[in-house]
Amino acid sequence: MSRPDGEVGGIVGEFFSLKDETDADYLVMQVGDFYEFFGDDAEEVSDLLDLKVSQKSSHGSNYPMAGVPVDKLTPHLKQLVERGYRVAVADQHETADGHAREITRVVTPGTLLETTDADAQYLAGVVRADDERYGLAFADVTTGRFSVTAVEESDPDAASDRAFTELYRFDPVEILPGPEVRNDDAFLDRVRERTDATLTLHRADAFAPGRATHETKEQFGDETLASIGLADGGTGASGRGDRPQIQAAGALLSYVAETGTGVKSSMTRLQSYEGDDHVSLDATTQRNLELTETMQGDRDGSLFATIDHTATSPGKRLLKEWLQRPRRDVPTLRQRADGVAAFANSALARETVRETLEGAYDLERLASKAAHGSADARDLLRVRETLALLPEVADAVASDPTLADSPLAEVASRPDREAAADLCEELDAIVEDPPGTVTEGGLFRRGHDEELDDLIERHEEAEEWIATLDDREKRETGITHLQVDRNKTDGYYIQVGNSETGKVPDRYDRLKSLKNSERYTTDELNERERQILRLEERRGELEYELFAELRGRVAEAADLLQSVGRALAELDALASLAVHAVENDWVRPTLRETGDLDIEAGRHPVVERTTEFVPNDLRMSEDRQFLVVTGPNMSGKSTYMRQVALITLLAQIGSFVPAAAAEIGVVDGIYTRVGALDELAQGRSTFMVEMQELSNILHSATDESLVILDEVGRGTATYDGISIAWAATEYLHNEIRAKTLFATHYHELTTLADHLDRVENVHVAADESDGDVTFLRTVEDGPTDRSYGIHVADLAGVPDPVVERSQGVLEKLRADEAIETKGGSSGGTKQVVFDVGSGELKSGGPEERGTGERQTGERGSDGFGSEQRGTGGCPEAGANADAVREKFGEDAEDVLAEIADLSVSDTAPVELLNRAQEWQERLDGE
């Protein structure tokens, strides 16, 4: 038992009563020079942090205890918090009658300032105002960024999807759900499944509109709110008077304040954005396209890891943000691409800029630390060094004609260079190699402050006096073994060897005797020592004051630091895109406001890095809007479709693309539905997930979207699957008119091209000769006729007898022959027939359906006799005609003849239905 049932006194009791005050996962409490965990906390934390557990006895019982020295708390806290835990810290302070302890702060994933990870660290608030509207706020205390947005949709599910998409895009480490959202189990389940964020229940009243608005105004001021249309009376993105995004923002601010971590001061800029600026990229699509991590959750192998060549953390963050939030506005994209092009064409200048950037520190994070008051002298030095790079970078850009003539010149000259130079000059006051503490002096150069200079001078004089004291004393006393030194217990002293203590003058006072020597002091030395201590103390105080002042000025210049930081990050991200383009032969795409997608010799940006890649073209236009992609298993259908999505996405972040040439009509959204990998593990039906994703696409896509469907309908019975795929195709083609690529093994769908104007077939080619299949990886017009699934089974190492037997079964199925089941309970063989009507294998002899004789029409393109499907069980034309007439009426024979004449593949499904209905009506039978 580690938590006592009854009353416990002493330190352990104090720990448990403080623990009752907090809902944090762990409590750590200061006890003298240590911070200690007790009870279960000690046991759990010791595992996580590799600490030793000892036993603390209190009132006759023992309790587990684990601790860290006071100055080692931060790294341990950081480890816990980065794993998603919230940790309350109780500090000890002196009182008249001893010590008291109270919780001073709760460190949480979203409020940890000490992160070393380059990634943004967002704290998110989500409010649902009513079913169709959500407000979201995102704060990164490490960089001071604060963004809000509102999401509104006509349908509650679509609104919830979009809110989740925004959350997923920012990838927060901690989320505060508002009062409505915390009761929405479906939403919360999704958050838990798809993100690593810690969910924190902040008090509900903090989300109330009045209180939240007050908090937000206090933090950012009325003017900021007004400037982004969110002040009183402003409607924001919602178009209504109330603003759920402000509720989310206010709750975030009050939460940050209540954690007591003091990081609220770092948040200085409020940005509001509207969904319309960006390409809609739902959470599923971000995952399916493996933008920042692979489907297996690894960073390596993602698009971001592949294209990232940035030199700085802010550059990395920005490039990732671009990738997660592609844009729609062509002018911005052209500007970025102009920048990439300029860097791509000027290798020398590009490398100069990149090398210079390597010396840059994270100005956004340093600005936050300065605002929070935790920046030390080394941090300010980093600010100075980074600011000093601005003119270097700007000059490198200005002195290269190609760069100077590109938007890069504007980026480099955007920050206020003069203000940066002024701050740099102020920061010159810091010495080259300052100490890690800010309270003990030694931080400033001479010339910064008169009083300090005077103190330093007097201090140096006194030290000089002491430094030369031994020589003077040796001369005066004639003692040769004499030395002057200082230590903590004795202060300054004169040490004389035992052999010469007889020469010691009267003015020496003995301090202590050592084995071979004696230590003395003198009145004069005492006086100097007091002087030095006074000077040191004053110098420490004065330097701290001066330092805090300077740090305050850096904090005030947060905007300047953010703007320099942003400019350097932008140059870094653009240079990184140029490096990748040059090294991998990417080209600049031509961007159009809307319309065609025309890619010549396109490649998959990630797969091309590890494979001898076969490039492929893509052409989509108004009259070629929907491509049905067929081809054998493993031939490259998914790769082809993903490469189209990724090329479009890269173009819409301003990047070059892996192709010989590309014309991209910008899209307003990219939607994908590809094979679900992990939902089964989460206990959800794969088919259910597939249908939810399809439903989302059919609700959200527009005629300006790009839709990628990989084998929709595969998760259910063949005929249900084909029907859904068929109907979804018609809907996307007729109603939505989105540019769509649809890979399928249902070859029935290839006939759609004959009926729907803008549907075309393409296939990934394979070559079959002498029973060997070679994947050519080339995409050609027209449908394919084979799946080669058995060939893939063979490649995958399925045992030979199974492969051979599959081949035999396939041939029988193709020939519509009965299959003999092997190894039945009777030990003999039994014959079954694949009933194409129901998609089931039925027992019975081949005589029930004829032995391999074709019954109607020609074999379907997939070899499964698709045109025969639905004919099972129909009476043969040669059967007893009278009996048929008697049972089904006079028209029966005509109806049968019409059915026999009908070409199923040339008839639209709707017409087929109409005809079937008409036939039924003409037949008298039941």
Residue 635 in the binding site for ligand ATP (CB under 6 A): yes
**What distance in Å separates the CA atoms of residue 297 and residue 299, rounded to the nearest whole number?**
7
Cβ atoms 619, 597 nearer than 8 A: yes
Nearer to ligand ATP, 105 or 777 (CB): 777
Is residue 854 classed as helix, strand or coil in its secondary structure? coil
Neighbouring residues of 56: CB distance < 8 A, sequence distance ≥ 6: 11, 12, 38, 62, 63, 64, 65
Q: Cβ of residue 304: shortest distance to ligand ATP, in angstroms?
A: 19
Residue 777 in the binding site for ligand ATP (CB under 6 A): yes
Q: Which helix or strand (DSSP H or E) is residue 637 part of?
A: helix 637-651
**What distance in Å separates the CA atoms of residue 348 and residue 339, rounded to the nearest whole number?**
15
Residues in 841-900 that interact with ligand ATP by CB under 6 A: none
Q: Which of 158, 419, 614, 691 binds ligand ATP (CB under 6 A)?
A: 614
Q: Is 632 annotated as a binding residue?
A: yes
Nearer to ligand ATP, 202 or 763 (CB): 763
**What distance in Å separates the CA atoms of residue 372 and residue 141, rounded to the nearest whole number?**
9
Residue 601 in the binding site for ligand ATP (CB under 6 A): no
Q: Is 54 annotated as a binding residue?
A: no
**What distance in Å separates the CA atoms of residue 455 and residue 538, rounded to the nearest whole number?**
8
Q: Cβ of residue 647: shortest distance to ligand ATP, in angstroms?
A: 13
Starting at the earlier edge strand, list the strands of the sheet with 123-130: 198-199, 174-177, 123-130, 133-140, 145-152, 269-272
Q: Is 498 annotated as a binding residue?
A: no
Is residue 156 classed as helix, strand or coil in its secondary structure? helix
The DSSP bridge partners found for residue 146 are: 139, 270
Point out which span in 560-568, 577-585, 626-634, 870-878 binds ligand ATP (CB under 6 A): 626-634
Q: Is 635 annotated as a binding residue?
A: yes
Q: Which of 633, 685, 695, 907 binds ligand ATP (CB under 6 A)?
A: 633
Cβ atoms 748, 862 nearer than 8 A: yes
Nearer to ligand ATP, 356 or 639 (CB): 639
Residue 774 in the binding site for ligand ATP (CB under 6 A): no
Q: What is the CA radius of gyration of the chain?
A: 38
Q: Which of 562, 576, 638, 672 binds ligand ATP (CB under 6 A)?
A: 638
Nearer to ligand ATP, 372 or 642 (CB): 642
Of 671, 664, 669, the C-alpha closest to 594 is 664
The DSSP bridge partners found for residue 309 are: none
Q: Is 838 annotated as a binding residue?
A: no
Residue 639 in the binding site for ligand ATP (CB under 6 A): yes
Nearer to ligand ATP, 243 or 637 (CB): 637
Q: Which helix or strand (DSSP H or E) is residue 134 part of?
A: strand 133-140
Residue 613 in the binding site for ligand ATP (CB under 6 A): yes
Fill in the DSSP letter of residue 430.
B
Q: Cβ of residue 713: shortest distance to ligand ATP, in angstroms?
A: 14
**String of contacts with ligand ATP for each residue 726-765, x by CB under 6 A:** ----------------------------------------
Point out which span in 64-72, 368-376, 477-485, 633-641 binds ligand ATP (CB under 6 A): 633-641
Residue 715 in the binding site for ligand ATP (CB under 6 A): no
Q: How far is CA 378 from CA 112, 266, 438, 501, 551, in A?
A: 20, 19, 10, 48, 11
Q: Cα 376 vs. chain centroid, distance in angstroms? A: 30
Q: How far is CA 182 from CA 373, 629, 738, in A?
A: 34, 43, 35
Strand duo 830-835 + 819-821: pairing = antiparallel
Nearer to ligand ATP, 441 or 658 (CB): 658
Q: Which residue is nearest to ligand ATP (CB)?
A: 636
The DSSP bridge partners found for residue 63 are: 56
Residue 696 in the binding site for ligand ATP (CB under 6 A): no
Residue 330 in the binding site for ligand ATP (CB under 6 A): no
Q: Cβ of residue 863: shortest distance to ligand ATP, in angstroms?
A: 17
Q: Is 633 annotated as a binding residue?
A: yes
Q: Which residue has the tokens 């001479």?
A: 446
Q: Is 769 annotated as a binding residue?
A: no
Nearer to ligand ATP, 88 or 634 (CB): 634
Q: Is 701 left (phi over 0), alpha (psi -120 to 50) or beta?
A: beta
Q: Cβ of residue 601: shortest distance to ligand ATP, in angstroms?
A: 10
Q: Which of 283, 634, 712, 728 binds ligand ATP (CB under 6 A)?
A: 634
**String of contacts with ligand ATP for each residue 522-541, x by CB under 6 A:** --------------------
Cβ atoms 751, 905 nearer than 8 A: yes
Q: Is 109 annotated as a binding residue?
A: no
Tell me the torsion sign for CA atoms 34, 37, 43, 46.
negative
Point out which span in 77-85, 390-398, 409-417, 634-642 binds ligand ATP (CB under 6 A): 634-642
What residue numbers does the annotated binding site for ATP cover? 631-638
Q: Which residues bind ligand ATP (CB under 6 A)?
A: 607, 611, 613-614, 616, 631, 633-639, 777
What residue numbers does the annotated binding site cover? 631-638
